[in-house]
Amino acid sequence: MTMNLTRRGVLATLGVALAAPAFVRRARAAEVTLRLHHFMPAMTSTQTKVFEPWAQELSDASDGRIAVQIFPSMQLGGKPPQLVDQVKGGTCDIAWTLTVYTPDRYLVAETLSLPFMATTAAKTTVAMRTLMEEFGQADYKGVRPLAFHTHAAGKFHMTKAAVTTAADMKGLRLRSPNKTTGEFLAALGAEPVFFPVTEMVVGLSNGVIDGCCLPYEAVPALKLQELTHEHSAAAAGARGLYTNTFALVMNERSHDRMPEELRAIFDATTGAVLSDRMGQNFDASEEVGRQAVITAGSPIHEIDAAEIARWREAAAPVHEAWAAKLTAAGLDGAAIMARANALLDA
């Protein structure tokens, strides 16, 4: 009996030993290894719900010949505003980046970051990728765009007092999500402060800022349910406060040197397919973040539609100035703004 057990143990060990080289061979069989760099923590839903499954799907579809290595939290060095240039220079093959980290550099892509240019993440993402197809082909010259998307409409997350009217903002230091939303907040009496979202936690912790504007999706990753205690969102049916626009871009050489059959597999997973997937993920993750706020026992306040309408009037000069900026850059500012609004209202 002891001999049989030992024999079985040896066979089991041998089986593992024989299986191991096969696994190693498959792991080493990757002909294309792509390094994806981004600025958010590894636990953000875009990594766990989009990038990691996407990497696995590419591996499966190519029988292990395509591998994607993900580097969150700027692990390859540099600062978030440098991500597109890192792709161009070959520091990484793919990068996920925010347009607002390089204001006025990607003008068409940044248009939907204006105040009140947001509905759901899925719908606003469709508006963005359509706008980029029609007007923004030159925006990301020098890299290959793989996806464009937005997050869901932003909300107020405050350390002390809630914000539901313009009067509530007077004198408050608010982390603004982008330059144009900061201009709008200043028009309502707030003091906007801008720094990358990854540095915002320190600002909330030490009282440098009174609150921030972010979607619920960011709450768990940044632990906003512990740092902020009053939350406000636009009434259902009203345009949201703002969104931010994202791009997933790739080094053109990294793309073009893939074998043709692998490039076909890769390309089939990008473009509209990946854009829509990323937008839909943000909508699904909104509820996760909202529940984190509720579980923490913090109230969620509604900014009524009439107040939002007054705020939109206050934001009109920001929109007009942006249209003029687009026109000054040789683009049709009026047409871009009109098309963006039509897509959001469709």
Within a domain: 111? yes
Q: Please check the confidence at residue 104 and state whether its pLDDT lies above 50.
A: yes
Within a domain: 236? yes
Same domain, 231 and 260: no
Confidence of residue 11 (pLDDT cuts 50, 70, 90): very low
pLDDT of residue 127: 98
Same domain, 159 and 51: no
Query: Residues 6 or more apart from 93 whose CB is under 8 A from it?
Result: 34, 35, 36, 87, 250, 251, 254
**Which residues, listed in sequence order, are joined to residue 171 by a DSSP beta bridge?**
none
Within a domain: 145? yes
Three-state helix/strand/coil letters over 180-232:
HHHHHHHHCCCEEECCCHHHHHHHHHCCCCCEEEECCCHHHHHCHHHHCCEEE
Same domain, 250 and 318: no
Exposure of 28 by Cβ count < 10 A (0-12 exposed, 13-18 middle, 19+ buried)? exposed
Confidence of residue 167 (pLDDT cuts 50, 70, 90): very high
pLDDT of residue 3: 33
Same domain, 125 and 193: no
Confidence of residue 197 (pLDDT cuts 50, 70, 90): confident
Q: Please check the confidence at residue 24 and state whether its pLDDT lies above 60.
A: no
Same domain, 109 and 221: no
Same domain, 191 and 258: no
For residue 191, give the CATH number of its domain: 3.40.190.170
For the chain, percent of residues with pLDDT exceeding 90: 86
pLDDT of residue 26: 42
Within a domain: 276? yes
**Which residues, listed in sequence order, are joined to residue 61 by a DSSP beta bridge?**
none
Within a domain: 5? no
pLDDT of residue 32: 98
For the chain, percent of residues with pLDDT exceeding 70: 92
Q: How do beta strands 300-303 and 230-234 pair?
A: parallel
How remote is the C-alpha of 206 from its chain's centroid?
26
Q: How do beta strands 173-175 and 245-250 pair?
A: unpaired
Consecutive H or E run containing 157 = strand 155-158
Question: Domains in the chain: how many in total?
Answer: 2
Within a domain: 139? yes
Same domain, 190 and 302: yes
Same domain, 186 and 82: no
Same domain, 331 and 282: no
Structural domain range at position 274? 29-150+244-286
pTM for this structure?
Answer: 0.86
Within a domain: 8? no
The answer to whether 132 and 139 have CB atoms below 8 angstroms apart is yes
Same domain, 309 and 211: yes
The answer to whether 237 and 57 have CB atoms below 8 angstroms apart is no
Amino acid at 82: Q
Euclidean distance between CA atoms 225 and 197, whole angstroms: 15
Same domain, 172 and 230: yes
- The phi-psi region of residue 74 (left if phi > 0; otherwise alpha if psi is between -120 and 50; otherwise beta) is left
Give the model confidence (pLDDT) of 27-72 as tens digits.
447 999 999 999 998 999 999 999 999 999 999 999 999 999 999 9
Same domain, 175 and 279: no
Amino acid at 201: V
